[in-house]
Structure 1
Amino acid sequence: MSGRTVLELAGDFVEDYEVMVPYQALETVGHEVHAVAPEKDEGESVKTAIHDFRGDQTYLEERGHDFVVDGAVGDVDPADYDALVVPGGRAPEYLRTNPDVLDVVRHFFEADKPVAALCHGPQILAAAGVLDGREITAYPALEPEMKAAGCSWVDEVVVDGNLVTGQAWPDHAEWLAAFLDVLGTDIDHGVEPAAADE
């Protein structure tokens, strides 16, 4: 299958790895990715946050990078995109109050297009009212919020139809592999193992 066009939601203090790694990984295998944020023009950036797990009762947050976006969420037509990525971090707690963000999310669910959400990203999906009856995971502290949105909670990466969810960036390999499968991505490794020297 040829490359898909993927929309990625971002905002200030989106989790650094969770916005950058999917963006780069999806482009590496031939998909075109556009990251959008509220009230940002093409070429402007959002600040990211790095969330680390060091054995404390919750994660540690540090300042990350500046992540350049492709435009404003209110200026895109979600019908132009084949799939959606919703990273976590601190951004989802305010992105879920943005009507443009919620309209974009609803489009992907109404059209049954692939959606990948990670960590706190499902907060946006819950606010959009698209999770009732779904099997889902998210950052573990969100379990009560996900159940209140009508979900069945799973403690690992889960695929429920068009929706792929993971708990945090340590799930990247499994979460991205599952999303690539839902996208129908055929990866041709193109490298044969070297013959052993005789």
Structure 2
Amino acid sequence: MAGKRILMLAGDFVEDYEIMVSFQMLLMVGHTVDVVSPGKKAGEQVTTAIHDFEGHQTYTEKRGHNFTLNATYGGTKADDYDALVIPGGRAPEQLSTDESVLALIRAFVTADKPIAAVCHGLQLLAAANVISGRKVSAYPACRAEM
């Protein structure tokens, strides 16, 4: 399979493991991956978060790493990509209020391009109102579900 051009949407406090591993694995198998965040340019960073269960009723959140964006959000178009990846963490909650993000997601859906939403990334699909009446495959990607 020829490498594809993939867009990854991120924001501050994106889940560390979900962005790092997805990004590295997609590169490893030959894809080009542009990671963008609204209001940020290539070379700027988003802060990641690490969520873990440590014997409490819910997970704890700790600061993760700085992830350097390799593309600029401004001017990003679905037409330039073959697929979209949305990692989870806290970022989808904040991104779900950005109409430009929701419009971008809708453009991927309208173009019938593959979208992978990991864990809380599904919040963005719900906010964009694109999952009603569609087949959605969900896997226990969240540590909370493992």
Q: Which TM-score applies when normalising by structure 2?
A: 0.91
State the partner residue of 2:48. 48
Instruction: Show structure 2 runs of 5+ residues with no match.
Output: none
Inter-partner Cα distance in structure 2 for 1:55 and 1:116: 30
Following superposition, the deviation at residue 10 of structure 1 comes to 0.3
State the partner residue of 1:85. 85
Equivalent position amino acid for 1:84 in 2 = L
2:139 corresponds to which of 163, 166, 172: 166
Following superposition, the deviation at residue 109 of structure 1 comes to 0.8
CA shift digits 1:86-141 (9 cap, x unpaired): 010001111011111111111111111111111110111101010102344xxxxx
- Matching of residue 5 in structure 1 with residue 5 in structure 2: yes
Q: Secondary structure at the match of 1:34?
A: strand
Spell out the pairing of 1:41-80 with structure 2 (5 A cutoff): 41-80=41-80
Inter-partner Cα distance in structure 2 for 1:111 and 1:5: 15
Inter-partner Cα distance in structure 1 for 2:78 and 2:70: 14
- Matching of residue 37 in structure 1 with residue 10 in structure 2: no
Inter-partner Cα distance in structure 2 for 1:103 and 1:73: 13
CA contact (8 A) 2:118 2:142 kept: yes
What percent of counterpart residues are identical? 56
CA contact (8 A) 1:74 1:100 kept: no
Following superposition, the deviation at residue 167 of structure 1 comes to 3.6
Aligned length in residues: 144
Higher relative contact order (CA 8 A, sep 6+): 2
Rate the CA distance shift 1:169–1:32 in 2: closer, same or farther, 3 A. Answer: farther
Equivalent position amino acid for 1:64 in 2 = G
Aligned CA-pair RMSD: 1.6
Instruction: Show structure 1 runs of 5+ residues with no match.
Output: 137-157, 159-164, 172-198
Following superposition, the deviation at residue 26 of structure 1 comes to 0.5
Q: Which of the pair has more CA radius of gyration?
A: 1
